[in-house]
Amino acid sequence: MAAKSSKKKEDDGTKLIATNRKARFQYHLEERVEAGVVLLGTEVKAAREGKVNLTDSYVKMWHGEAYLSGCHIGHYAAAAKFNHDPVRERKLLLHRREIDRLDGKTRERGFTLVVTKLYFRNGRVKAEVALARGKKTHDKRAVVKERQEKKEMERALKQYR
């Protein structure tokens, strides 16, 4: 009998590595794009073990190319001295038109590119990049208040039944 994996595997050949749950709370997510990620061998093996943290990750445009910045991929234990730098910038693979369009929107309209998910699709590591606009403090408070009201309603309905 095989052990259950804690990672979610979907029918279309994707296997979730990590999500950035704070992104939905801190930003209004507008548009999402899938991008390939250039990784070293030890980074891929560490990602398979789930040693990835996307909490403060974002996409930086530099010389017409997109780079994943702030993503922490932990060390792979079996690599010993041949390990990678856990917080290095990693190149994202996007079409030229997508890079130009996203770069234009981030420059002129005040958007930010945030990484929301990292996953395997057919053996390749992919990142879901979202065009996001930062929420104001009152927006965040409204989300927390709405969540609390929903919980209280559920409790009241549960007691009523």
pLDDT at res. 5? 46
CA 69 to chain centre: 11
Q: 18-68: per-residue pLDDT in tens?
A: 888 888 877 888 889 999 999 888 888 888 888 888 888 889 999 989 999
Q: Which residues of 121-150 are buried (b: 16+ CB within 10 A; e: fewer)?
A: eeeebbbbbbbbeebeeeeeeeeeeeeeee
In degrees, rounded to 5, the angle at the alpha carbon of residue 91 between the alpha carbons of residues 83 and 98 is 160
Q: Indicate the CATH number for domain 14-135.
A: 2.40.280.10
Q: 95-132: per-residue pLDDT in tens?
A: 999 999 998 888 887 788 999 999 999 888 999 999 98
pLDDT at res. 3? 41
The pLDDT confidence band at residue 74, using thresholds 50, 70 and 90, is confident
Q: Specify the pTM.
A: 0.74
Cα separation values, 26 from 29, 94, 130, 137, 151, Å:
9, 25, 13, 9, 21
What are the domain boundaries of the chain?
14-135
What DSSP character marks residue 78? Answer: G
